[in-house]
Amino acid sequence: MHGNMMQWPLLISSIFRHATTYHHDQEIVSVTADQPQFRYTFTDFAARVCQLANALTNAGVKPGDRIATMAWNDHRHLELYYAISGIGAVCHTINPRLFPEQIEYIVEHAEDTLLFADPMFVELITPITARSNTVRAVIVLDDGATTVDGIASTSYEDFIACEAETFAWPEFDENSACALCYTSGTTGNPKGVLYSHRSTVLHALTVTTPNALEIGMQDAVLPVVPLFHVNAWGIPYAALLSGAKLVLPGAALDGESLYSLMEREAVSVTAGVPTVWLGLQKHLQENNRKLPSLKRMIVGGSAAPSSMIEYFETQQDVNFVHAWGMTEMSPLGTVCRLKPAMQQDSREARTAQKIKQGMPVFGVELKIVDDDGMRLPHDGEAMGELWVRGPWITSGYFRNPEGSRSDFDSEGYFRTGDISTIDSQGYMRICDRAKDVIKSGGEWISSIDLENVAVGHPKVAEAAVIGVPCDKWQERPLLVVVLKKPGSELTLNEMRDFLTGKVPKWWQPGAMEVVDSLPHTATGKIQKRALRQQFADFSFTSSTEGSI
Amino acid sequence: MHGNMMQWPLLISSIFRHATTYHHDQEIVSVTADQPQFRYTFTDFAARVCQLANALTNAGVKPGDRIATMAWNDHRHLELYYAISGIGAVCHTINPRLFPEQIEYIVEHAEDTLLFADPMFVELITPITARSNTVRAVIVLDDGATTVDGIASTSYEDFIACEAETFAWPEFDENSACALCYTSGTTGNPKGVLYSHRSTVLHALTVTTPNALEIGMQDAVLPVVPLFHVNAWGIPYAALLSGAKLVLPGAALDGESLYSLMEREAVSVTAGVPTVWLGLQKHLQENNRKLPSLKRMIVGGSAAPSSMIEYFETQQDVNFVHAWGMTEMSPLGTVCRLKPAMQQDSREARTAQKIKQGMPVFGVELKIVDDDGMRLPHDGEAMGELWVRGPWITSGYFRNPEGSRSDFDSEGYFRTGDISTIDSQGYMRICDRAKDVIKSGGEWISSIDLENVAVGHPKVAEAAVIGVPCDKWQERPLLVVVLKKPGSELTLNEMRDFLTGKVPKWWQPGAMEVVDSLPHTATGKIQKRALRQQFADFSFTSSTEGSI
Ligand SMILES: Nc1ncnc2c1ncn2[C@@H]1O[C@H](COP(=O)(O)OP(=O)(O)OP(=O)(O)O)[C@@H](O)[C@H]1O
Ligand SMILES: Nc1ncnc2c1ncn2[C@@H]1O[C@H](COP(=O)(O)OP(=O)(O)OP(=O)(O)O)[C@@H](O)[C@H]1O
Ligand SMILES: [Mg+2]
Ligand SMILES: [Mg+2]
């Protein structure tokens, strides 16, 4: 027997309608190349989104068509989010930091018909769009200063200029596709994840809850995480859904720019990857600055080191919230919020808990399993492959039926490719990626944990660990570090002394290399594949190798 | 084109699984007749819910069967919520304060097969269940002290005692029915609203958001609103979904009992109707007591007077959040949270805003229309009939196709029967019920506004206004008051002096009557129908009637 409740589909246009009706004078602040201090209200935003929806429709865009964007976080990109999905088309956000070959592959694979690009990416895309069989035109996100060779093109402002400022949003099945994002390609070729209106709205609603990012109409939210990376963790939807002020930082993500923006706009919630916060931390420390309005920072994408957690919690009085997710998960999986009893713990115990990636939000189911697929206990010890299930998790990659099948098990869970533990309180900790994990003498070494401890050394700015083959132990960890002071010195023995007592004895690195910088992916993660290539010829001397 | 996302149905058993896996040592505190200080963890709760699910299954309960409850807010009632809906049956919560004829009508209309009742309701239900054609057995919510005549019966503890403590929850369509609640019957015969798993989970998630009740794992939540009244505004689901502590007050809702419970359990969020808070306010004032842990109180069901808002905000430092809803709406429709700019306003301006019922939460669409169904502007002046639409709003009453049709319009909106305004900021204000509204000399008088001002008079404890026919103006307001000090005096002229300047001149009551008490409905609302009957023979003297 069915309940007697209305069938009201969960659509992105419902978020738009709610925000622009009930929070019409709330603000969106945006940094663009041509307007570094742009701001307007939800009402102004609404008018332009409707103009864009009309322009897209007039340009022949049909429901289901993929429309690509390659842009920073600004108001035009936000308008694209709402107009494209609102008319039933698919907003395909492309990560401009992927290799050009990857970008070309993605555009063709998705069969994008229009491409909206920031002026600074025109050079990058010109050869791709000139060759493309699917892209019909490029629309440059400015007011007419930039031209594109080899393809029809116009400026965004011209594209929408003459259109009507109202639009009748169609109603359709909430399972319709709304957005498409390819994974970062940290471990291989990018794979497409096709989100639905239902998954996006449920995810956005969850993002607003107190156990997650906690966004209400009192908040000013700054997504530093790019709109081209998993929909900026759902914040462009969550902020409007709650009537919060949305602050979009454009391309300038250095410490100084972020500090100024947060200060000027009284930002209360922000979200981004650890690399970005390292920059901010450095800026704040060097200039002895404070962030009085900031209440919460949500940090994910790769593991946050404990030194960062301690700095922001004790020096900036910010609630540092570690989170974990994936492109395949929209992305929110787990959030590390302390339970009431843990609030009473010592600072050290709280940091030790906050370094974990946390508990799943309602809607996400986790399991860790051994090599035979058997569930492992929640004891904080047992390490296993992490599998997930829930309404905003992919059921298969876009146009990739073969690649998809092996990623799902008979219970409908999706294989994350991460290795983790879950403690008795339900807190999950990412130990490694299955592809990065180091097996030494038959035992697993968590490269993430080892990196996290090593980065706590006062001389170290960044640390990465990879496994290098060795005869005696199969694999031994090689520690690669960037020093805070270029030109300073750090010896393997100093590092070993520092690590002693903080990691198991057999985790001690077999060798340490000092480099000027580490290779990062488009989304700020350390590119372990590139690092392994860089050290492909490395081999331990028998003295270091045996010294554990 | 559909998105590629998992089909993960929104089920009440998912809330159960999440809560009991990730918040297993969170507590439920419960006051029952036999155990006035009962407390247990989510783990203990889980075991008993599974026992109950097994017992129900063994008793032959099938998906879709209606299982009735008549009980206060305690842990056994909560177990019934999760076990009945979890196995796919329908939890039909009966309001014990309805007239016995109404209860009998409801039980037969719903075709309840089992009835779970608190011991104190056994006398009330005995004749009903003895006569019933559908109820097979009564299960008394105690450990065996009470027996029921004329029907098979057992105690709850015996019913579940020998069952296994695990249960494999079935997966089914999220649109399946999960619960049934009949309206309060303020305006006529109770009508059944049949909720679905989808509507209930979406509503619960929304209840937890910062713009609504704001419930996270840090909170201790006390639903004073009964579990038999619109699922206690979704709190039994919302609290478990967020891992919050749930404090269930049983039958003792007087000021002293509520104060003690809040104090002992460090309650941070509570929700209930104004009548209950009047009792608490009186107790706190008379005993000069404070509620230091309480952060928010959500107040709805009928209009909260400004004197109450001011007391709790200024004397108790509580965020007083006015809300509006209906049984037909699960019930959450609007919540009155101030926008950031309003936080800077004077205390008076803030109270004037907080007395409104607020803005819709995301998921609820409102419109106010004139007699021709044309939309009225959001100007805070235009008063019209309020219509609503959304995923947790009824699409028709249970087994009542005729009654249902006229309540919906061609856009799919549901007629609330309330008369309201919406101001330019989107805040809705309930002025009256369509059936209670007073039309005087062609103009509407808001009985709610008039009551709200009158109750601000220092001598007045409670006030009600009804329209009484008169020749000259068609209808004139009759003010009926209960005085704070029994036996004290208050004249019509004193009251008129007090009202002067606070209400339009033509709203001045034609007469005032002092009574010992006002008739209330089962959910704490003033029963205008009964009041009108009581004053059916009343007529204005020509002197008062003309005196406006
Ligand atoms: N808080 C975190 N701590 C550690 N690792 C994290 C955290 N958050 C995310 N990750 C890592 O990031 C992964 C998800 O990243 P994303 O979806 O952006 O692409 P990717 O996995 O890096 O790329 P690809 O799948 O194409 O190789 C997770 O599987 C996990 O390994
Ligand atoms: N904050 C509030 N202020 C004023 N009125 C309110 C408020 N909240 C709820 N109400 C009133 O309560 C009504 C909903 O109550 P409920 O669903 O409990 O049953 P009822 O309408 O009283 O009973 P019935 O529909 O059987 O006559 C609303 O339509 C509205 O009139
Ligand atoms: Mg990945
Ligand atoms: Mg009603």
| A396: closest CA of chain B, how far (Å) | 6
* Ligand that lies nearest to the alpha carbon of residue A190, given by its number in the listed order: 1
- Residue B437: pLDDT band by 50, 70, 90 thresholds? confident
Regarding the beta carbon of A358 and ligand 1, being less than 6 Å apart is answered no
Q: What stretches of B195-346 show up as alpha helix (H) in DSSP?
A: 197-207, 230-233, 235-242, 255-265, 274-287, 306-310
Average pLDDT over all residues of chain B? 94
What one-letter code names the amino acid at A124?
Answer: L
pLDDT recorded at residue B76:
98
Residue B1 has pLDDT above 50, yes or no: yes
Q: Which residues surround ligand 4, an ion (CB under 5 A)?
A: B 183
CA closest to A21 among chain B residues: B426
The structure tokens listed for A145 are 């200063």
* Ligand that lies nearest to the alpha carbon of residue B185, given by its number in the listed order: 2
Q: Which residues surround ligand 3, an ion (CB under 5 A)?
A: A 183
| B202: closest CA of chain A, how far (Å) | 8
pLDDT recorded at residue B520:
87
pLDDT recorded at residue A287:
98
Asked if the B8-19+32-198 domain carries CATH number 3.40.50.12780, the reply is: yes
Residue B545 has pLDDT above 60, yes or no: no
B2 contacts A175? CB cut-off 8 A: yes
Q: What is the b/e burial string over A292-317, where b = at least 16 CB atoms within 10 angstroms of the residue's CB?
A: eebbbbbbbbbbbbbbbbbbbbeebe
pLDDT recorded at residue B542:
55
A6 contacts B390? CB cut-off 8 A: yes
Residue B546 has pLDDT above 50, yes or no: no
- Which candidate in A290, A339, A439, A502 is catalytic? A439
CA closest to B173 among chain A residues: A2
pLDDT tens for each residue of B362-403: 999 999 999 899 999 999 999 999 999 999 999 999 998 776
Segment B314-323 mean pLDDT = 98
Cα dihedral B159→B161→B165→B171 (10° resolution): 0
CA of A187 from ligand 4 middle (Å) equals 57
Residue B184 has pLDDT above 60, yes or no: yes
Distance (Å) of CA A20 to CA A26, A44, B60? 9, 9, 51
B485 is catalytic: no
- Which candidate in B41, B256, B444, B513 is catalytic? B444
Residues 363-382 of A with CB under 8 A from B: 363, 365
Q: Which ligand 2 atom is at minimum distance from the Cα of B229?
A: 18
Q: Which ligand 2 atom is at minimum distance from the Cα of B521?
A: 22
For chain A, the residue count is: 548
For tokens 């944990």, the residue is A449
CB of B63 less than 8 A from some CB of A: yes
**Which residue has better confidence, A540 or B201?**
B201
For tokens 């979904």, the residue is B241
Instruction: Yes or no: say if A199 and A174 are a contact pair by the CB < 8 Å rule.
Output: no
CATH superfamily of A436-545: ANL, C-terminal domain (3.30.300.30)
pLDDT recorded at residue A548:
47
- Give B206's contacts in chain A (Cβ within 8 Å): 205
Which of A324, A329, A387, A397 to mutate for ligand 1's pocket (most ligand atoms within 8 Å of CB)? A324
Regarding the beta carbon of A523 and ligand 1, being less than 6 Å apart is answered yes
A241 contacts B393? CB cut-off 8 A: no
pLDDT recorded at residue B474:
87
Q: Which ligand 2 atom is at minimum distance from the Cα of B299?
A: 1
Segment B78-88 mean pLDDT = 98
B444 is catalytic: yes
- Residue ranges of the domains in chain B? 8-19+32-198, 436-545
pLDDT tens for each residue of B16-67: 999 999 999 999 999 998 888 999 999 999 999 999 999 999 999 999 999 9
Taking alpha carbons only, the member of A163, A63, A34, A59 closest to residue A115 is: A59
CA of A404 from ligand 3 middle (Å) equals 13
CA closest to A22 among chain B residues: B426
- Give A395's contacts in chain B (Cβ within 8 Å): 4-7
* Ligand that lies nearest to the alpha carbon of residue A271, given by its number in the listed order: 1
Residues 169-208 of A with CB under 8 A from B: 173, 175-178, 193-199, 205-206, 208
3-class state of residue B321 by DSSP: strand
Average pLDDT per consecutive 10 residues, chain A (548 residues; last block may be shorter): 98 98 98 90 98 98 98 98 98 94 96 97 97 97 91 97 98 98 82 97 98 98 97 98 98 96 98 95 97 97 94 98 98 98 96 97 98 96 96 96 83 96 98 89 87 93 92 91 92 95 91 94 83 91 53
Biggest CA pair distance of chain B: 75
Residue B4 has pLDDT above 90, yes or no: yes
pLDDT recorded at residue B406:
83
B324 is catalytic: no
Residue A66 to residue A80: CA distance in whole angstroms? 12
CA of A423 from ligand 3 middle (Å) equals 23
B205 contacts A1? CB cut-off 8 A: no
Task: Measure CB to CB from residue A176 to each of B3, B205, B242 and give the nearest one.
Answer: B3
Residue A545 burial by Cβ neighbours in a 10 Å radius (0-12, 13-18, 19+): middle
A354 is catalytic: no
For tokens 């070309």, the residue is A104
Residue B497 has pLDDT above 80, yes or no: yes
Residues 79-98 of B with CB under 8 A from A: 90
Which of A183, A231, A356, A523 to mutate for ligand 1's pocket (most ligand atoms within 8 Å of CB)? A183
pLDDT recorded at residue A546:
42
Segment B72-91 mean pLDDT = 98
Residue B508 has pLDDT above 80, yes or no: yes
